């Protein structure tokens, strides 16, 4: 049996991938009460670290906002410091910690709203572009813009959802 690739190759598949991952994950998040959101029992992005539900949202918001920042800068022919100023690709665990701190002051409801707004902004960006802009040429090194968007939106959402569902199962939250 041939494995079907989950890598989007066109605008419609990319939008659907982001929307599907978002709707599944936001549904899980909305079932977690405030009593559980600060429990540090979710596998973190640095080896041997534990994070909480709020941190997972901060992580996803951080990456989504970076995608929007990258596109904005490149569309203005400005240089982009990938992945983020002060961080290299081999320092993604530290970048994740930066995201956790960046959104630490947000309430859970504010994080959920910011996550939704971030995803809506990304979907609006995707809808404003055509297949050639998304997949016609390399945008960053060997990656198309569509691939960079997917790698930093729907892919991490799927990964985080696995962690959230495991957390919900351990704490017997709507399983």
The string of DSSP codes covering 39-89 is: ---EE-SSTT-EE-HHHHHHHHHHHHHHHHHHHHHHHTT----SSBTTB-G
49 pLDDT more than 80: yes
Quick one: pLDDT band at residue 6, thresholds 50, 70, 90? confident
Q: Is 86 left (phi over 0), alpha (psi -120 to 50) or beta?
A: left
With CA atoms as reference, report the closest residue to 53 among 164, 169, 171, 153: 164
3 pLDDT more than 60: no
Give the least confident one: 1-10, 32-41, 77-86, 100-109. Answer: 1-10
Quick one: pLDDT band at residue 58, thresholds 50, 70, 90? very high
How far apart CA 98 and CA 62 sit, in angstroms, is 9
Given this model, what pLDDT does residue 46 score?
Answer: 86
Given this model, what pLDDT does residue 174 score?
Answer: 83
pTM: 0.96
5 pLDDT more than 70: no
């Amino acid at each position: 049996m041939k494995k079907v690739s989950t890598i989007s190759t066109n605008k419609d598949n990319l939008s659907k991938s982001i929307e599907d991952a978002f709707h599944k994950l936001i549904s899980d998040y909305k079932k977690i009460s405030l009593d559980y959101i600060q429990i540090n029992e979710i596998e973190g992005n640095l080896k041997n670290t534990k994070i909480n539900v709020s941190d997972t949202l901060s992580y996803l918001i951080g990456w989504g906002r970076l995608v929007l920042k990258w596109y904005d800068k490149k569309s203005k022919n400005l240089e982009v410091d990938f992945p983020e100023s002060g961080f290299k690709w081999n320092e993604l665990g530290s970048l994740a910690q930066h995201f956790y701190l960046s959104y630490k002051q947000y309430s859970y409801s504010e994080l959920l709203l910011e996550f939704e707004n971030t995803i809506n902004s990304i979907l609006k960006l995707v809808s404003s572009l055509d297949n050639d802009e998304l997949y016609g040429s390399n945008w960053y090194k060997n990656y198309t813009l569509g691939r960079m968007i997917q790698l930093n939106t729907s892919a991490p959402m799927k990964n985080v959802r696995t962690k959230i569902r495991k957390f919900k199962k351990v704490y017997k939250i709507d399983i």
